């Protein structure tokens, strides 16, 4: 949960589809998956944690976009 809370202050400027804090995006993703697949808890969890790699980028002080899934490959 602590890693997810770190997403709350992170807006990924390299992701043109997300201008919300990533924690909000994580819960929205998990909730949409739950609505479509209420029996697949593993899938809901995957939606919740799918952007946790962005926390690693912040911890390493890598440049924005270096861990993005949209534009650049992770190092
Ligand atoms: Fe995402």
For residue 22, report the distance from its CA to the centre of ligand 1, in Å: 7
Domain assignment present for residue 33? The answer is yes
Count of domains observed in the chain? 1
Query: Are the beta carbons of 15 and 64 closer than 8 angstroms?
Result: no
pLDDT top residue among 36 and 65: 36
The CA-based dihedral angle spanning residues 28, 30, 34, 35, taken in that order and rounded to the nearest 10 degrees: 20
Q: What's the pTM?
A: 0.68
Domain that holds residue 38: 1-7+21-64
* 14 lies in some domain: no
Domain assignment of residue 69, yes or no: no
* Interatomic CA distance for residues 52 and 5, integer angstroms: 10
Query: How far away, in angstroms, is 47 Cα from ligand 1 center?
Result: 8
Classify residue 29: in a domain, yes or no.
yes
**17 CA distance to ligand 1 middle (Å):** 9
pLDDT in the model for residue 3: 79
Examine residue 37 and state whether it is found in any structural domain, yes or no. yes
Taking the centre of ligand 1 as the mean of its atom positions, its distance from the CA of residue 70, in whole angstroms, is 9
Whether residue 16 is contained in a domain is answered as: no
pLDDT at 7: 77
Any domain includes 71:
no
Residue 59 lies in a domain: yes
């Amino acid at each position: 949960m602590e890693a997810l809370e770190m997403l709350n202050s992170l807006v990924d400027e390299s992701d043109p589809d997300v201008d919300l804090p990533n924690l909000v995006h994580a819960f929205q993703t998990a909730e949409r998956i739950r609505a479509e697949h209420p029996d697949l808890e593993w899938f809901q969890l995957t939606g919740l944690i799918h952007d946790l790699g962005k926390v690693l980028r912040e911890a390493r002080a890598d440049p924005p976009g270096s861990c993005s899934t949209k534009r650049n490959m992770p190092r």
